[in-house]
Structure 1
Amino acid sequence: MSRVLDNARRTLTVEAAALQEAEARLEGAFEEAVQIILASKGRLVVTGMGKSGLIGRKIAATLASTGTPSFFMHPAEGSHGDLGMITGQDVVLTISSSGETQEVVALLPLLQRLGTKVIAMVGRADSTLGQRSDAILDISVTNEACPMNLAPTASTTVTLALGDALAVSLLEERGFTPEDFARFHPGGSLGKQLLLHISDLMHSGDGIPQVRRSAPMREALLEMTAKRLGMTAVVDAQERLVGVITDGDLRRSLDEAMDLHEVTAGEAMTPDPFTIGPDELAARGLQYMEDRSINGLLVVAEGNRVVGALNMHDFLRAGVI
């Protein structure tokens, strides 16, 4: 097995060295490419054949999810109608290690007629693609990790990393925020944390567990059982929140041998409970609960009136956790 590990380590070493070489070549050309994209009023269209195309698809996806409108166009399909998706306001990012990929080079005169800016990720600046582009990102490598120096390995790693560098640089220049990211990823955990509000999760109306301060503990127990949130709000005659009874309060009442028919909710409650507003982010509510080691949360609006309630299970069901 030592040979297997030796090959793995050599591959990683070669690719790490290729990335360091690419980093040393960034100055000038990389900034020029970023400025071309920022100045564009259109989309960034990524194209490439074979493994370059596969890397290009990932680059386009990363750009699109980080604030740079982008999509991948297969170069062969571009010559058969898909070029109609490109306008003169777009920028085309072409990927070709040799710079002579026939399907990619064939697009250049068509793009030139449209007035579309072209950025080339290319391994040879003196290639056809390199010479006919507005900016060049050098993806050349000293050696591929492939022992025959044939299969694209280190070069595709460099291309992918440069694509990530472009995306990160552009999102910083655009002032892209976590909230922006969430809007592009509404189905993900981060999207839920940044887009969902307490009002989206809480139980409201008849689903709110609450009893009057004067109610016997037996009534509070029945309310907690019916609403199944592990707590009940305690309100005064004007229906303003004055306290909360939780499962823990109930257990303490039983441990102290209190008569559930005689003890009132007001006597057993925890006064001035922690609350949250309905417009707060769900993620903030979750953080409050975790910081205070509580499992339930009452939601209040103006006048300290209870408008909702939720517990940890509601956060789990919504995918916020």
Structure 2
Amino acid sequence: MTPEEAVAEYLDVNPKSNGESTMRSHESRLGIFVDWCDDNEIEYMNDLSKEDLEAYREKREKKVKPRTLETQFQTLSVFVRYCESQGYVKPALSVEVPEIEVAEEDKSRDRYMTRERAKEVVSHLSRFNYASQDHALWLLLTDTGIRTCTLRSLDIDDFVELEDGTGYLNLEHRPKTGTRLKNKTASERQIPISSSTCEVLSDYIEHRRPDTIDRYGREPLIATEQGRISASAVRTRINKWSAPCLIGDCPHGRNPDTCRPATVAGDMNCPSKRSPHDLRKGYITYMRQNGWDGPTLSDNVDASADVIDRHYDKTDKEKKRKLHATILTEVVDDFE
């Protein structure tokens, strides 16, 4: 069994309970491993040795960050265990897959988009691109902290306006008609949105949304002329407007006319450009700093308290202490 054949089989027989995005990530990570095997003349999986696995680790650690290396080798470990169960590799080879240790400070990137910067972008869009697709998209992400897959899953009917001017989004896992939520049906929920966001969404739907349906006959909320907006298009919109020079001066001393990241929306080689995930981290950090309790925030953004603390909340130690002190004072006052 060649490495390429083994990877193809592994991807084909993997449980459907694993999400499509997860398996695409596995395919990408294992594709790097297959290429390395080709370059190092490892023709068959049963040729693979402990020394080969160590050599692969040494090669990859020179090219990627510790957290990326960890995820790549976690996937490799799962793959090698599968091959071991099928008799494609030497017995007990799975225990020889290097375990990557990542320092606590490397486990989560510190990059996120502050509430202040997000508000600057939204204010600019409100003034110069009111109720445009970009305006609606930015408002949804900054007002709710939802994931890209959640944003893409929304149909017009999932946006509900209430009599007091506020509203909510009804989130549903609909894999049979092309959209999935991160944690499947466990991610289904209703999340509130502000009156200002409701007003913009209503104007976007009425005046600027393309009158299209997707290939399943659904009416996507954030639509293009071809149907439902793609994940890459969402990233491009966030990348584009997060460049400071697009709405002000460049803080890095570059000339926007000759700077590639300033003119190419998807070029992330700008220290200030941000991704949809960075907006989500900024939203969660802001909510934590302003007193949202863990369980409520966890339910709203569909992430466990541990995941929020480890990967999303970027509140520094001093701000956390002050917030905890405020909450403690309120609790103590309740008993006096």
Higher helix share: 2
TM-score range, shorter chain: under 0.3
Specify the structure having the higher radius of gyration (Cα): 1
- TM-score scaled by length of structure 1: 0.21
